[in-house]
Structure 1
Amino acid sequence: MEHLDHVPARRGTVIFLNGTSSSGKSSIAGELLRILDEPYFHMPVDAFHAMRSRTPVPQDQLATVLHRTWQGFHRAVAGMAAAGNNVVVDHVLSAEWRLKDCLSLFVPQDVVLVKVHCDPAELERRERARGDRPAGLAGAQLEQVHAHGVYDLECDTGEATPQECAHRIKDFLGARVGPTAFEQLRATIGRRSL
């Protein structure tokens, strides 16, 4: 393998899958990695939570630890993209500060924001089938996750398979025009707090 002293600078594309727990984000991400023409990294927030040691966290410190984990995750994604890597982000924007943090860190022209959703009854069924999430978690996240309302693309995983959703996203990548959802959001909610 050839050693490179200089790698040409570029910015990576961020495919940002936002949806509740059990909405189908990871399944779509897996298909995207299989079909996209360039290398992409799948960076799910769950992987960052899984990296934390199993040392018990006192209840009064848990919110702080989780907040720092999310902040670190956002910065890791932004760093990968800034280094020229393409990234598929698997995220849950269930708190407004998370979106604002991402808006302040990511290059908005490089982000494709995808709404991943399905019928609430289907979310509940998937949650029960998984058995690894607290009952009602997805339902509790529903109101805030999509509250910002602006997306580049939408995938209803109750109506389309992960493969179909991934192909829609791939097709969209080749036909993108601005302003992106992140550009629009930065011009409205992002500017108020950035």
Structure 2
Amino acid sequence: MEQGATGGRIVFLNGTSSAGKTSIARELLRVLEQPYFHMPVDAFHAMRSSVTVSPEDLPEVLRRTWMGFHRAVAGMAASGNNVVMDHVLSEEWRLVDCLGLLVAKDVVLVGVHCPLPELELRERTRGDRPRGLAARQLHQVHAHGCYDVECDTSVQSPAECALRIKEFLAGPPGPTAFEALRSRYHTSSYGC
């Protein structure tokens, strides 16, 4: 199940800032037997020039960045590349945009969970995230409530999470969470 019929597989890691998505992605690149590209949204934000953007213009700049990220991932997968996508679905439009762009049967949606006290500790330890960012994201990130695989990084190591995802990828193909979500968001029927 590593390679999708129409293109590359997408392992879509969704969780708040500091939940452990990047650590899991690194482990996935180490344990998966097919070539994968790690495409974190943070890398796309880091590519933007350091020109000061006014507070009024910032939401639109960020929206265009997220939309470009989604299209870059879709393009890589459409070209037959396997991708580990590191994402934060903290706004519903991001999920809807991805549902319209990505081949649903080729997406493995992974919920990366972590309790708020641990997220706050990680934010303080990291020092490179605005304080309270994860808390602001937590409510919406998992609001869609439908995953193929779920991990709790407060009790599972990144390696354990990666192995769990690898096991899922090796299983028989079947309807994916992304297929159920596409049906829900595009036809108002509920699968999850």
Establish whether TM, by shorter chain, passes 0.5: yes
The root-mean-square deviation of aligned C-alpha atoms, in Å, is 1.1
**Contact 1:10 1:83 (8 Å CA) reproduced:** no
Q: 1:112-140, CA deviations, whole angstroms, 9 ceiling, x for partnerless residues? A: 00000111110110010000111110011
Shift of residue 191, structure 1, vs aligned partner: 3.8
List structure 1 segments (4+ residues) > 6 angstroms apart after TM superposition: none
Instruction: Give the C-alpha shift of residue 176 in structure 1.
Output: 4.1
Counterpart of 1:146 (choices 142, 154, 163) is 142
For residue 60 of structure 1, the aligned residue among 56, 64, 69 is 56
CA distance in 1, matches of 2:10, 2:171: 15
- Alpha-carbon distance in structure 2 between the residues aligned to 1:181 and 1:128: 33
In structure 2, the residue matched to 1:6 is none
Q: How many residues align?
A: 184
Counterpart Cα distance in 2 of 1:95 and 1:184: 19
State the alpha-carbon separation in 2 of the partners of residues 101 and 53 from structure 1.
Answer: 25
What is aligned with 2:110?
Answer: 114
**Is the aligned partner of 1:159 residue 2:155?**
yes
Q: What is the CA-CA distance between 1:177 and the residue it aligns to?
A: 3.5
User: 1:76 offset after TM fit, Å?
Assistant: 0.2
**In structure 2, do the counterparts of structure 1 residues 144 and 112 end up closer, same or farther at CA, with 3 Å as the change threshold?**
same
1:50 aligns with 2:46: yes
Match of 1:16 in 2: 12
Give the counterpart letter for 2:74 in structure 1: A
Q: For residues 65 and 187 of structure 2, what CA distance do their matches in structure 1 show? A: 24
**Given the alignment, which residue of 116, 119, 124 partners 1:123?**
119
The question of 1:77 aligning with 2:78 is answered no
Unaligned ranges ≥5, structure 2: none
State the structure with more CA Rg.
1
Equivalent residue in structure 2 for 1:184, among 175, 180, 183 = 180
| Aligned-pair CA distance for 1:190 | 3.5
Tell me how far apart the structure 2 counterparts of residues 176 and 136 of structure 1 sit (CA, whole Å). 40
User: Within 1, Cα distance between the matches of 2:67 and 2:156?
Assistant: 32
Shift of 1:189: 1.6
Q: Counterparts of 1:191 and 1:100 in 2: how far apart (Å)?
A: 12
Structure 1 residues 148 and 67 mapped into 2: Cα distance closer, same or farther (>3 Å)? Answer: same
Which SS does the other structure have where 2:57 is aligned? Answer: helix
Q: 1:28 matched to which residue of 2? A: 24
CA distance in 1, matches of 2:131, 2:101: 33
List alignment gaps of at least 5 residues for structure 1.
1-8
